Amino acid sequence: MINEILFMDGYGFYVWSSFAFTLLSFFSLFVITKIQYVREKKKFIVKFGNLKSDKASFAKSQSINKQILSNTSGF
């Protein structure tokens, strides 16, 4: 039974290699996206992290910054 699943009448090598390639592609895409996210987050903190309180409250009140800050709370 396990041999049938592994070999799939001679097509097992192609099926399992394409499955592994797909998983590897998804994983590498996730890692690259995560690295880019962390890099952009650090840039944002460097640019806006040391604002004075009045400028920080103004930046938080802008709609685009609200969207950015609300989307990053889950990470």
Cβ contact 12:6 at 8 Å:
yes
Range of the domain at 55: 2-74
| Domain total in the chain | 1
Containing H/E element for 50?
none
Q: What is the pTM of this model?
A: 0.60
Identify the H or E element spanning 19.
helix 12-48
* pLDDT tens sequence across 15-66: 999 999 999 999 999 999 999 999 999 998 888 777 677 776 776 677 776 7
Q: Which residue's entry shows tokens 């049938």? A: 4
